[in-house]
Structures are given as structure tokens and as C-alpha cells.
């Protein structure tokens, strides 16, 4: 296989040489190109990063130099012929997909392709998936669909859509590659980079946050103290308050300035501060727009809270996985190597059966949240099992 440089638009795609080689071939060779692609891989593997880089390479005269206007605008999300759908709420609606499909059918205005990137194709509603299927079945000559999903399982991507896509599987990046990127490209201290890479579970974005953000490190520390702190039901409810409160605070930090900016932009668009004849009519119509904005912001906040809580649950699952590995003497890399003392203490105190019940409780909580069970109910039920074992 040809060795691919990690420069240009591929610079942020860590540890994916095989996928890069395939995408470079398609960008440079018209016979290797197809109209629909499906990027799969575990969280943090770089599915959306790969799709965005591929879109830039397709629009770039030099197939992904990273410096030209086409590359810069695609990577910045401002290219007129590249539309990216990043669901801010819990799902992608049929109306949103229909509007996107209509745009995708147009001829490209400046680039060589009209490209649609769907960052979380597993969040398509049934109606949205059907709308997308019609476009994928009969695409325009210069239209390309780039879908991203955790896997090609029917629960993530309908078989009818998957069968019309070329699959690009991504792997979990090795810790050494993540550490090297953090140190060389992001300027992180090498020791901190190695630690962040060793505890991020192969998630490049998570490693970057842990290396740079003291609050992210504090939240992780708070989560990993839970397993050995549940000595009674009082601690169960305290831990539930802490986990949910931390997720809400993290979501609020992310949303605060953005929500305010959106409300201000809407106010201006609806004539705030204006004096013309049309101002009164615009302000009368502002109420419906405000309600729609509030709906979208609330949905986005719910998604952010659940994503933050899910990160905490993934850390908990990793802890119990490490306890099982230690209990049986398995020679596998630890998910949380910096918690070796706590893991050893738990492995001595808990039976394999009780540890497995705890791990299953964490995984069940993740599933419950995906099914829209109220977070407090799901988390308190999980912590009860974590306490009892």
C-alpha cells in the first residue's frame, strides 16, 4: 500500500492510513469514485473528520492540498457546494432532509461536486431515511453523499441505504498516534499528551479536551470516584445529583453564548431597533420564529446533556471493564491506567459476578437514555445496582 502523508486536508485524521489511501485514490481517480459513501467507526475514530477531509479533497484542484480556497472553505464549513448536517437535537427530521435533498440535486456552483455530509446518519428518523433513500437511489451526476455512523448495522443505517454506499471503516486510533498529534500539532506537553492519549479510549477529541481543559479532567475524576464511594443509599442519591448536575453544567457552558447570539440575531432579523413601515409586521411574525428557536435550543440542550452524561457512563464502564480484566489477570491495556490502585482494590473486594452486574447496569443506563428515559430515573437505577453489586 502507498504510504500517505498526513499533511493537507488529512492532517487531523489520526491513525487511519488505510482509509486515507482509499479516499485519496477516489479523489484522484474518477474510475474509483462513487456517489454515496458510508464512514463507520467507534466514537472518536474520526468519521466526520474523514468525510469533511474527503469533501475538501474532491473540491480541491490538487485533491486535498489544505491551503487553497476550496480546502479552507470546506474545512471551515462555508463552501457553497458542501452542505453538512450535524444534528443538534435528538434526531434529523424529514423536513430537514427533504430540504437538503432538493439542494443536493442542483448543479455545483463553484466546485466540481455538490456534496452532502451527514455527520450522524444513525439519527435519521424513518421519514428522513426514506427521503434520503430516494436521492441516493437516483443521484444527480455531480452529487455525492457522505454518511457517518457508528456501524453499518441496520439499527444504525437502514439496509436499503447501506447497500447503495461504499463502506469506509475506521479503526480506533492507537494511543501512540494520538499522543504524537497532541504533542506535535497542538503543542501539548509530551507527558500530558501521553496521559491523555492513554485514558481517552481512542477518542482524539476527548484526548484533546482532557489535555487542555482542567474542567474536563475534574469531571472525569469526579466520575471515577463513584464506584468506591457508594457505601450507602445516601451516597447513591448524592452521586446521581452530581452526575446529572455536572452534565447539565457542561451543556449550559457549551450553549450559553451560542443561545444568546442566536436570540440576538433573530431579534435583529425581525426588525429590533428598526423604524420602517415593515417593522411592525415583522415583529408580529417574530413570535412564531422565537418559539421555533426556543424549540431547537431546548432540543440541542437535551442532546448536549445526554452526550455529557454518556461520556461519564463510558468512563464508568471502562472502570468496571478494568476490574474484570484485573480479576482474571488478563494482559490487556487498561482503560484507566491512572486508576490502577482503585481497580486493584475493587478487584479484591468484588466477585466477578457482581462486577459484571455493575458493568451491565452501566450499559443498560446508556440504552435507557437512548430510549429517552428520564436521566435521573435511569441514573438512580444504575447507581442502585452499582451500590448493591
pLDDT averaged per 10 residues in sequence order, the chain, 389 residues: 60 91 93 94 91 96 93 94 83 87 88 92 91 89 93 89 94 92 91 95 91 93 95 92 90 68 64 55 63 72 86 95 95 94 96 96 94 93 95
- Calpha distance 227→176 (Å, rounded): 29
DSSP state of 81: T
Residue 266 is predicted with a pLDDT of 60
Bridge partner residues of 115 (DSSP): 82, 144
pTM: 0.78
pLDDT at 155: 84
* Contact (CB, 8 A) for 73 and 79: yes
- The grid cell for 192 is 500530558
Quote the CA–CA distance of 120 and 47 in Å, as a whole number: 9
Name beta bridge partners: 118: 85, 147
Going along the chain from its start, the domains and CATH numbers come out as 8-169 (3.40.50.300), 175-201 (no CATH), 233-267+297-388 (1.20.272)
Q: What count of residues does the chain have?
A: 389
Determine how β-strand 36-40 pairs with β-strand 82-85: unpaired
Query: What is the per-residue pLDDT for 341?
Result: 96
Amino acid 263: pLDDT: 63
Q: In what order do the strands lie in the sheet with 114-118?
A: 82-85, 114-118, 143-149, 36-40, 166-169
The CA distance from 111 to 113, in Å, is: 6
Cα-only R_g, the chain: 23
The predicted pLDDT at position 185 comes to 86
Amino acid at each position: 500500500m502507498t504510504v500517505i502523508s498526513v499533511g493537507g486536508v488529512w492532517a487531523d485524521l489520526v491513525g487511519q492510513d488505510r482509509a486515507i489511501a482509499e479516499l485519496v485514490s477516489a479523489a484522484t481517480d474518477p474510475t474509483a469514485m462513487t456517489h454515496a459513501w458510508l464512514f463507520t467507526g467507534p466514537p472518536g475514530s474520526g468519521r466526520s473528520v474523514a468525510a469533511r477531509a474527503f469533501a475538501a479533497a474532491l473540491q480541491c484542484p490538487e485533491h486535498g492540498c489544505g491551503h487553497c480556497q476550496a480546502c479552507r472553505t470546506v474545512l471551515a464549513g462555508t463552501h457553497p457546494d458542501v452542505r453538512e448536517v450535524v444534528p443538534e437535537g435528538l434526531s434529523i427530521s424529514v423536513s430537514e432532509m427533504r430540504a437538503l435533498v432538493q439542494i443536493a440535486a442542483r448543479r455545483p456552483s463553484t466546485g466540481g461536486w455538490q456534496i452532502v455530509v451527514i455527520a450522524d446518519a444513525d439519527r435519521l428518523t424513518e421519514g428522513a431515511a426514506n427521503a434520503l433513500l430516494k436521492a441516493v437511489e437516483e443521484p444527480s451526476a455531480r452529487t455525492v453523499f457522505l454518511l457517518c455512523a457508528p456501524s453499518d448495522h441496520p439499527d444504525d443505517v437502514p439496509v436499503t441505504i447501506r447497500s447503495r454506499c461504499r463502506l469506509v471503516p475506521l479503526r480506533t486510533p492507537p494511543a501512540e498516534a494520538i499522543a504524537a498529534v497532541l504533542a506535535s500539532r497542538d503543542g501539548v506537553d509530551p507527558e500530558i499528551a501521553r496521559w491523555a492519549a492513554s485514558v481517552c479510549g481512542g477518542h482524539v477529541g476527548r484526548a484533546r479536551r482532557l489535555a487542555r481543559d482542567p474542567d474536563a479532567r475534574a469531571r472525569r475524576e469526579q466520575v471515577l470516584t463513584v464506584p468506591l464511594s457508594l457505601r450507602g443509599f445516601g451516597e447513591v442519591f448524592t452521586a446521581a445529583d452530581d452526575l446529572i448536575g455536572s452534565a447539565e453544567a457542561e451543556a449550559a457552558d457549551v450553549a450559553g453564548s451560542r443561545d444568546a447570539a442566536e436570540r440576538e440575531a433573530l431579534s435583529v432579523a425581525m426588525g429590533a431597533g428598526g423604524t420602517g413601515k415593515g417593522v411592525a409586521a415583522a415583529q408580529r411574525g417574530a413570535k412564531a420564529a422565537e418559539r421555533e428557536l426556543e424549540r431547537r435550543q431546548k432540543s440541542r440542550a437535551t442532546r448536549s446533556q445526554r452526550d455529557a452524561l454518556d461520556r461519564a457512563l463510558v468512563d464508568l464502564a471502562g472502570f468496571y471493564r478494568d476490574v474484570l480484566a484485573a480479576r482474571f489477570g488478563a494482559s490487556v491495556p487498561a482503560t484507566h491506567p491512572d486508576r490502577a490502585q482503585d481497580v486493584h482494590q475493587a478487584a479484591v473486594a468484588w466477585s466477578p459476578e457482581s462486577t459484571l452486574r455493575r458493568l451491565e447496569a452501566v450499559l443498560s443506563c446508556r440504552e435507557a437514555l437512548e430510549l429517552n428515559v428520564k436521566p435521573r430515573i435511569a441514573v438512580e437505577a444504575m447507581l442502585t445496582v452499582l451500590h448493591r453489586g
